[in-house]
Amino acid sequence: MKMDELKNLDVQEMLEKLQNLDMENIGSWPMPVKIGAAIIVFVVVMVLGYMFSITDLNNQLERSQRQESTLMQQLEQKAHRAHHLDQYRDQLAEMEETFGSLLQQLPRETEVPGLLEDITHTGLGSGLEFDRIELASETEREFYAELPIQITVRGDYHGFGAFVSGVAGLPRIVTLHDFTIVPAQRGDGERLLTMNITARTYRYASRPPPPPQPQRPANQRRRR
């Protein structure tokens, strides 16, 4: 009998034995079959264990690694802040001092009329003639209140420049916005320019704002 025939015979005998196995009496199975069945059961258990246990553990490991990375970044940031804590305290003290000095430059309600007088004197000293200077409605911001002052003056470019420079040099914080300059002419025929400009002053919004009190100074002009 040739080798191929022996192999076919062994396979056929093995298949017949497998078909005739008594599932209710595993102990009577041939030893090779028992070993093969044990290997199959072991492989199935390992595959199921990997699917239901090891996969979950890997997912937990990945989440833990991401959490560890996040915590390390937070630790580095907090360590950096702790290392520079004294520097931050010095900066905070400096900011508080600067903030306090800026608050002193913001006019209180009782100082607004005096501020209008300072602006008027600055304009007159620059050779300008006032047509209007009056307060508009105050606007509340988050930390401060903004008080616009509508101004209309007549003069020349040199006077306008001196006026803007003088207002910027006032001890109180005043900013100038939205100006327009158009030609104007006085009754005596002198050619002048008219400038409309909005000055804004500010106050710390710690108290309710007072109602605006429009003021109109008399038209004046300082002669050179």
- Tens of pLDDT, residue by residue over 135-155, are 998 888 877 788 899 999 999
Residue 144's nearest CA partner among 209, 92, 74, 205 is 205
Per CATH, the homologous superfamily of domain 107-204 is Ribosomal protein S6/Translation elongation factor EF1B (3.30.70.60)
Domain ranges within the chain, ordered by starting residue:
29-83, 107-204
Is the distance from CB of 120 to CB of 217 less than 8 angstroms?
yes
Is the distance from CB of 107 to CB of 115 less than 8 angstroms?
yes
Six-digit token pair at 126? Answer: 């620059």
Residue 27 has pLDDT above 80, yes or no: no
Predicted confidence at residue 133, as pLDDT, reads 93
- Beta-bridged to residue 184, according to DSSP, are 192
Average pLDDT over residues 192-213: 74
The label of the residue with tokens 């109602």 reads 211
Position 185 confidence tier, pLDDT thresholds 50, 70, 90? low
Is the distance from CB of 153 to CB of 194 less than 8 angstroms?
yes
For 175, left (φ over 0), alpha (ψ -120 to 50), or beta?
Answer: beta
Position 165 confidence tier, pLDDT thresholds 50, 70, 90? very high
Q: How many whole angstroms separate alpha carbon 160 and alpha carbon 182? A: 12
204 vs 159: which has the higher pLDDT? 159
28-69 confidence digits (pLDDT tens): 666 666 777 778 877 887 777 777 777 777 788 888 888 998
Q: How many whole angstroms separate alpha carbon 172 and alpha carbon 168? A: 9
Predicted confidence at residue 125, as pLDDT, reads 93
